[in-house]
Structure 1
Amino acid sequence: MLLPILLLSAAGFTVLTTEFVIVGLLPAIARDLEVSIPQAGLLVTLFAFTVAAFGPFLTAYFARFERRKLFISVLIMFGLANTLAAFAPNIWVMAIARLIPALGLPVFWALASETAVDIVGPDFAGRAISKIGFGIVCATVFGIPVGTLISDAFGWRSAFGILAVIAFAKALLLFIYLPSTNLHQHQVSFRSQFKILRSPLMIGHVLLSILVFSGMFTAYTYLADILERLAGFNGTVVGWCLMGFGAVGLIGNSLGGRAVDRHPLIASVTFCAFMIAGMVALVPNIHSPLGLAAAMGIWGVTQAALFLVSHVRLMKAAPEAPAFAASLNIAGANLGIGLGAMVGGRVIDSVGLQGLGFAAAAFILVSILLAMALMTFKPREVCA
């Protein structure tokens, strides 16, 4: 039963690369489309807010569909959207190209996660989703930095063009090798899934995801710009730095998968605390090779871990509707991503790039306090 998980992990690589590849391309996109970096950063906000607004509803609706056909359709949609992005003549067409895949990402990620948990059982949810999450980590290890290197060599449009070809190829692989799957055996009705929102604990978990991802992306959205303007690196060096940032995420993915199965909230607090250290240390060590590597390494490990921890944390909090709970995490995370991109843009305009780490750390500190408060709550059944 490992092959379906590996196929979904490979597809997840394409899905998440489509969302985050723009992080490394922002400077080039801004120059080519003649907009400012904060204005280009709104493309990140648009994608994230679309996922946040529609993700739970789309996931609840499409949960009734056969998984194989659904996953193939999502990848084809991603291929078409990336093709449009590759030929976008202005920021408005680019915005449409970012809007389309934002509708498919939460459906794929939530239902692929549920499928993985169904295969291995809920006791090993963290480790199963870490295998799916391996595709996400690879998106940061290879997808984002390679996209940056391709952009530097051939232009940012080439990065989206290649990503479109990969999406179509993955759709073909799923068509050939992914077996048809049965619907979730205990599928909860569309209406009943929303009952889990009656739980204050669930609302707290979603708010925690919003805060964590707001902190992450206040700074991470503009990491390429930090490395270009403050460190003085060219596009090629930035690409390799982003690859190193993602590579250490493989460690974080493994650590997160094990820690979240033991205690989701303690795992959240621990990784958040180390993330603050990495974010705050980045700019003061920007001209020290060893210090910069250490700061980026700590940040990269914790960021990858928190992607996984946050996702599994919500699924474990609502075992009666895990896919919908996962979609709530995706919605909360993307709301945080959008807010973080907006806040980061404001920080750049007001105090400059050097203030991003401290603004991001403020979000993460509040998330630590919330996670500690949530430990005092007792979960209760809210869905029949």
Structure 2
Amino acid sequence: MLLPVFLLSAAGFTVLTTEFIIVGLLPAIARDLDVSIPQAGLLVTLFAFTVALFGPFLTAYFARFERRKLFISILILFGLANTLAMMAPNIWVMAIARLIPALGLPVFWALASETAVDIVGPDYAGRAIAKIGFGIVCATVFGIPVGTLISDAFGWRSAFGILAVIAFAKALLLFVYLPKTSLHQHQVSFRSQFRILRSPLMLGHVLLSILVFSGMFTAYTYLADILERLAGFDGTVVGWCLMGFGAVGLIGNSLGGRAVDRHPLMASVMFCAFMIPGMVALVPNINSSLGLAAAMGIWGVTQAALFLVSHVRLMKAAPEAPAFAASLNIAGANLGIGLGAIIGGRVIDSAGLGFVGFAAAGFILLSIFLAMVLMVLKPREVCAA
């Protein structure tokens, strides 16, 4: 019964690694393609904004398709895109290679999440998506840092080449082992899915995702650069640091899955509140091994938790159209990721790399305030209904 969930989790590892692997490769890509770090950071923005702009519409449209064929097609698309990234001669071709998978990511992630919830039931949505989310955490634990280590040893192009091979292999595994019937869903009309946007509470939830992810990626986009330039680490040490950052995310994924089933908005407030000191303390403790490890540990746990909490929070807010609600979270999150990459780049250009954590913390503070407002508004909307 849970085999489809684990298969989709494995596929999700490849999908999310494709999006975030560039975080650890930014310094190397910038050097090789002869652009600045903020300019290379726009590749993150391009991917994220594409997801945000097209994600909900593509998810609503492709929800009618048979899931097995759809997921296999998406993985093949990712394999081709990573192959193009491996061969990119300049920043423009690299941009195309990032644009292509950005169209498939929201469709996969939203529909895979809905599939997991259908398998286990809505009462255990957080735990089900935590299993899918395990693939995301593994992308940060292994995908991103191992990509950084491969880049340091063999060049950043080899990282994308290996990721392409993995994508094609996962497509084959889904073809062989994923049964068609396990992913068949009751279809909701295209128009009815968009009706949930009439709810001010739903729009508030989307805005909350935008703010949370803007805060996280104002700093996280440039974490590898912080560790290289401010801590003085080489590529290998940066890779191991990113692996540690992701590894503690396993704790956050578990905590987030349990907390969000009890109270989604309170879980958002709690993890945001703990994230702020981790972000703010990073640079001041850059020369202290213990202080740096503690700051990255707190940040890593809370960031992984908020990935899951934000996703389930939107799905629980719209149980009549959970896949579309998930796509709205993905869109809002990626809009935040793109904004964060831009804002972080601006902060680096104007104030310096050491200030991105403080800028990020400002967004997280706004997130806490909005979550509290939504907790007050929720009972009113229910009563009005």
Q: TM class by shorter-chain length?
A: over 0.9
What do the CA deviations read for 1:219-275 (whole angstroms, capped 9, x no partner)? Answer: 000000000000000000000000000000000000000000000000000000000
1:171 deviates by: 0.1
In angstroms, what is the RMSD of aligned CA positions?
1.6
For the 8 Å contact 1:66–1:182, the answer to whether it is kept is: no
**Match of residue 15 from structure 1:** 15
What do the CA deviations read for 1:323-361 (whole angstroms, capped 9, x no partner)? Answer: 000000000000000000000000000010110000000
For the 8 Å contact 1:198–1:382, the answer to whether it is kept is: no
Separation in 1, partners of 2:129, 2:210: 20
- CA spacing shift, 1:217–1:199, aligned 2, 3 Å: same
What do the CA deviations read for 1:153-212 (whole angstroms, capped 9, x no partner)? Answer: 000000000000000000000000000036665422001100000000000000000000
Separation in 1, partners of 2:266, 2:277: 17
1:380 deviates by: 9.0
Separation in 1, partners of 2:95, 2:101: 11
Separation in 1, partners of 2:179, 2:85: 31
Query: Secondary structure at the residue paired with 1:25?
Result: helix
Separation in 1, partners of 2:381, 2:176: 40
- CA spacing shift, 1:101–1:382, aligned 2, 3 Å: farther
For the 8 Å contact 1:196–1:382, the answer to whether it is kept is: no
For the 8 Å contact 1:8–1:132, the answer to whether it is kept is: yes
For the 8 Å contact 1:195–1:382, the answer to whether it is kept is: no
- CA spacing shift, 1:366–1:338, aligned 2, 3 Å: same
- CA spacing shift, 1:139–1:185, aligned 2, 3 Å: closer
Gaps of 5+ in 1: none
> Structure 2 length normalisation: TM-score?
0.98
Alignment of 1:41-120 (within 5 A): 41-120=41-120
For the 8 Å contact 1:18–1:82, the answer to whether it is kept is: yes
Query: Secondary structure at the residue paired with 1:287?
Result: coil
Separation in 1, partners of 2:22, 2:41: 9
Gaps of 5+ in 2: none
Separation in 1, partners of 2:377, 2:347: 35
Separation in 2, partners of 1:76, 1:185: 22
1:2 deviates by: 1.1
**Match of residue 166 from structure 1:** 166
Separation in 2, partners of 1:382, 1:195: 16
What do the CA deviations read for 1:295-348 (whole angstroms, capped 9, x no partner)? Answer: 000000000000000000000000000000000000000000000000000000
For the 8 Å contact 2:265–2:371, the answer to whether it is kept is: yes
For the 8 Å contact 2:278–2:295, the answer to whether it is kept is: yes
For the 8 Å contact 2:4–2:182, the answer to whether it is kept is: no
1:377 deviates by: 1.7
1:281 deviates by: 0.4
**Match of residue 325 from structure 2:** 325
Q: Give the paired residue count.
A: 384
For the 8 Å contact 1:64–1:183, the answer to whether it is kept is: no
Separation in 1, partners of 2:30, 2:181: 43
Separation in 2, partners of 1:379, 1:54: 32
For the 8 Å contact 1:348–1:356, the answer to whether it is kept is: yes
Separation in 2, partners of 1:2, 1:42: 38
For the 8 Å contact 2:67–2:184, the answer to whether it is kept is: no
